[in-house]
Structure 1
Amino acid sequence: MRFDFFRRQGSKGDVAVDELVAPVAHGTQEPSPESALLEEAEANGYVGYALQLDAQMRVQGIRFAWRDATGGADASAQCKALIECIAKHLNPPKGWRLGRLAVYLDVTVDALFHNELQALPPGNVVLCMGMDDLADPDTRSMLVFLREQGFGFMLRDAPALPQDPELLEIVTHFDVGAGDPALIAEVREGEPVGRAPIQLIATRMNGWDRFETCADHRVDVFVEASRPPPPVKQVGELQPESLLIVRLMQMLQRNENVRSIEAALKRDAALTYRLLRHINSPAIGVGVEITSLRHAVSMLGYQPLFRWLSVLLATSNRTSSHFMMKRAIMRGRFVELMGQGMLPASDSDNLFVVGMFSLIDQLLGVTMEEVLSKVQLTESVQQAILSRKGVYAPFLSLVEACETDSGDAPRLAEALFVSAGQVNAAHLSAMVWSQEASALEMP
């Protein structure tokens, strides 16, 4: 349901009487300054994100941001550009594509009246606003309506919960900044009785040592993709499960007999189960259930199996954080999508492996050289991973720029002759792909 009664005049989606007759009387109208700013923001902006992690470092949600490459768009235009991008790629007519994940959007007051925002699934969306905007009496009716529909509201950058009882009922999430224990205690003491607890989130965690403090206080954290990963225990060498996966990958590279590969895989029933679960995931979309390695080879071939073994390798270190595994899978798909249509289809799996393996040392706790000495990847793949050179390197560099907000994304995209819109579509599609492939969730 859309709350058109409170829609502000001039909001996109409204059609006034004079707008209906204007094309007949005066010809095509010039776009409004607001529309021009929105178009400019859409053409020059890149989607960024931070992951919401719980105490076990599992991903519970995504906070999206809009990075304006030119700096020419105002906050309202950027906000609307982000909402339209999210609506287009994550909430198409077929339905919401991110499953159970919560989505956090920093919104302006004007954005509350946007059709595309109101059409998002309320139970999955948390709107982040400052106290001044939340306390604006002109928007109170809209805030109450959206809350009744199921949208959540996170109060950001505030020293305490609001005193206004009606406003307090609207707030479902609270930004505790760096996770100061005193602020956490104060907010918990001020929570209204008889309703669901307010979700506390540390949005500006200073370091991974602070993560433990937040976890102890049952506070989730937002982690930017640009933040260095948490320390991984350096094991020095590959663990037994990782070694078995590497052996299987080597057998595929040598084009060994399927019976030999199947015999090696059967030595680990759990690994067999995980591989078949991955292959039967929605991301593959084979259409029939694959019940054995032999069946998988006949349906997919060796190269796609190598791709899925690389996923198993990346997730084989049980001490590595869940969200880093998810990031690696997402990056692999993002790199692959960026190369589609620009490189031959046969390069698709190599692109995916480039993205995955670019983080493999951080996942396994061994050096990149140690991993690559065991898995003999092609020279072009190794060049991209080790030195960011070769045919695959530009795609990996672009993906890393989008993740880290380095400011290089426009230049790298232009060098590949792709638009910001194409990059954003691939980025969000990679998120959807990693989420839809439920079997890719770590065991």
Structure 2
Amino acid sequence: MTDTSASTNASHGALSGAMIARQAIMNGRQTVVGYELLDRSHGRSDHTAASDVLVMFAALSHAGAEELVGKTLLFVNCTHESLSGGHLELVNPEKIVLEIPALGLAATDEVQARQPLLAALRERGFHLAFNQTVLESTYAPWLPLADFIKLDLSVLPADQATVLINYAQRSSKAELIAEKIETAQQYDMVSSLGVELFQGYWFARPALVQTKLLSPQQAHIVDLLNLVRRQASTDEIEEVLKKDAGLAFNLMRLINSAGLGLHHEVSSFRQAVMLLGLKKLFRWAALLLTAARHGGPPPAVGQTAVVRGRFMELLAREFLDAEQADEAFLVGMFSMLDQMLGMPLDKALQLLGLPGTIVNQIEHHEGRLGQLLLLVRACETNDDSDFYSALQNTPLTSQQVNMAHLQALAWSDQMCEL
């Protein structure tokens, strides 16, 4: 048997991400109805079109134990430049509130010119939020599009806030959010006027979340982009995903993210590619290339996960059908998620939303693939007793296992050289 043991701890260099501040938006019963996301990487307090895109991408693909895009609404600050970005096609619009900034000293014709894009976003299912400037006559074309209007109490005196609230309630169907509430007096004042949503230090300060992604090799992302651009076959695209545990994890994380809005159990990379489609796959890979540009090469544990996946696939081909062989690769690769992410295996697997049968095969070694996983792990540890015990539960011979192991190692080395 060939020894391919890897370090049990994932390198911190395997993770890349951003620092995101998340502040709750609550109703009068102190129930969280949504979170506003803000980019706080490198002390950033403003945002650009590029940071808008990366914040949303990081929220979708976050690999931490806490889900950033859950059942509540996600309020995302936008620039007008980012509103036409392809990244918005990667999310479930019903969960996203786009916070649309004012145009400064904008002429009425510029407001009118942007109205069709905003209307199209709302037609696609996005919620739109504006600040109090949308109540000015200049912004009249935007007002019917407002699902939320945010009133900034740090700049509005009580008498002016009262006038704006009364006007908004008469002239719009939007829900009002009083933001930057810092005192009980401010809360009592706006709630007495009928405002039902609140945000500010009086309720909760922004909580920082270090978003994490497994860093794939940039060369593999470029390979994927090139294949998708020339509309390569699903088989060719699947081969690229099998090269890189980080790339595979991030795709499966996205495909099963609550923010994407798909409701399918994905049990192979082939299914993931087909469900996402080439257009969305290209946009996702392009964003991943940007997000991972500062990441280093994958750690040894990621390489071992690729070998394990291929090893499992080759063994499954000896006595199982093609669909189960595809699942075997996934079972093998993702059986090392605990080491790749530095968290318990059950928590790591929950991030991917895999079918229960696959999770049980990984965690509890149920079924034929679970037994194969025990056999593969025995090969890695070079434990003869465990190896022969596991081998008895399969129709394989030791010669078949050793040949498959050598082929998996050679395949992995070849993939890394491409």
TM-score by length of 2: 0.38
User: Of the two structures, which has the highest relative contact order with CA contacts closer than 8 Å and spacing of 6 or more?
Assistant: 2
Larger radius of gyration: 2
TM-score by length of 1: 0.36
